[in-house]
A and B are shown apart, each in its own frame.
Chain A
Amino acid sequence: MPSLSISRLNCYLGCPLQYKFRYVDLLPRPWRVAAMAFGTSVHAAIEWFHRERMDGRSPSVEEALSVFEADWFAQNVEPLVFSEKEDTDSLREKGVALLTTYLGIMAESKPKAIEAPFEIPLIDPETGEDLDLTLRGIIDLVEEGDTLVDVKTAGRTPENGGLERHLQLTTYALVFYLLHGVIPDLRLDVLLKLKTPRVEQLPTKRSLPDLAWTARLFAKTARAIEQGHFYPNPSWRCTECEYFAACQAWRG
Chain B
Amino acid sequence: MRPMASNFPPDLGDPTAAGRETTTYPQLLTLAHESDLTKVLTQLVQIPTDDNGRLAIVKAEVTTARGVFEGLGDASPESVEDFLLPHLIRVAETRAKARALRDAVGIGVVSVEEISGASFPPAASGPGSGGGSGRRPLPPGLPGNGGQGDGNRLRSLPIDTSSMSEGQRRYLFRLMAARGLKGEAAHDSLKQFFGVGDLFQVSKVEATKAIDRLLQDAGQGNGHAVTQH
Contact = CB atoms under 8 A, between A and B. Distances in A.
Nearest to A75: B170
A73 B50 contact: no
A70 B173 contact: yes
Contacts of B68: none
A74 B127 contact: no
Given A75-B170, A138-B49, A69 B177 contact: yes
A55 B222 CA distance: 12
Nearest to B172: A74
A44 B172 contact: no
Chain A's interface: helix, strand, loop or mixed, by majority?
helix
Contacts of B166: 75, 78
A185 interface: no
Contact of B177 (A36, A70, A77, A121): A70
Given A48-B223, A74-B170, A67 B127 contact: no
B97 interface: no
Interface centre among A44, A57, A134 (most CB of B within 10 A): A44
Interface stretch (A3-11, A150-158, A176-184, A220-228): A3-11
A74 B51 contact: no
A115 B223 contact: no
Interface residues of B, number: 26
Interface string B176-213: 11000011001100000000000100000000000000
A74 B173 contact: yes
A70 B47 contact: no
A59 B170 CA distance: 20
A47 interface: yes
Nearest to B223: A52
A116 B79 CA distance: 24
26 contacts: A1-B125, A7-B50, A44-B170, A48-B224, A52-B227, A59-B223, A66-B224, A69-B182, A71-B170, A71-B173, A71-B174, A73-B182, A73-B187, A74-B169, A74-B170, A74-B172, A74-B173, A74-B174, A75-B170, A77-B169, A119-B128, A121-B126, A121-B127, A134-B86, A134-B126, A138-B47
